[in-house]
Amino acid sequence: MRLNSFYPKWEIVALCGVAIMYARSRPLFAAAPFYVIIFHWIFIAIYAIVGISGFRFILLFCFKRDVFADLFSQPNLLALGPHPMQCLALSVSVLEVIFYVVVMELGKFRSWARPLFKWLVFPCGFFYPILVSTGIRSAEMTGHAKAITFSGSIGFLALALCATTFYQSACVKAIHGRD
């Protein structure tokens, strides 16, 4: 079983949500420097895609449990057995759903979203490439797929560090104005 050849329907929905949020919140960024606006929306778009993947896996678990079990019972990049991998996939999916809500609120510069973002961005970003590659069966591919997936996980950790630093910076806090 494969993850529907990984059609990016959910990811397109996430990007449409970000585009709508951008259109509605433009006045909020009127006085912000251009680089802050660019970095903010890049982070929001990337992490909205990461967060929305949790919905896909939770819906699979709720409505097509046999498909979920088949996806996460196959060989995976963490070399976990079927039951631990399914538990990991489900728990990370719940985190990603929460993370999606946090990211969308962070896009509107809600003050409560920044601390939650800081704690959720690292696990969600790290496990996203691993869960998706397991879902599309890249674990059965060559060692290059494993290297690419782990590189993606490390890349997401580096991006998480950059995003966390960015949202804790003085320029973002000055725009935010409510701390």
Checking if the pLDDT of 145 tops 80, the result is no
Nearest alpha-carbon partner for 145 in 77, 91, 85: 77
Nearest alpha-carbon partner for 16 in 54, 48, 59: 48
Nearest alpha-carbon partner for 56 in 132, 127, 123: 132
pLDDT digits (tens, 9 = 90+) for 5-29: 456 788 888 889 899 988 888 777 7
Q: Where are the domains of the chain?
A: 8-176
pLDDT reported for residue 146: 78
pLDDT digits (tens, 9 = 90+) for 64-107: 899 888 888 887 788 888 899 999 999 999 999 999 999 999 88
Prediction pTM value: 0.87
Quote the radius of gyration of the chain (alpha carbons, Å).
Answer: 17
**82 or 109: whose pLDDT is higher?**
82
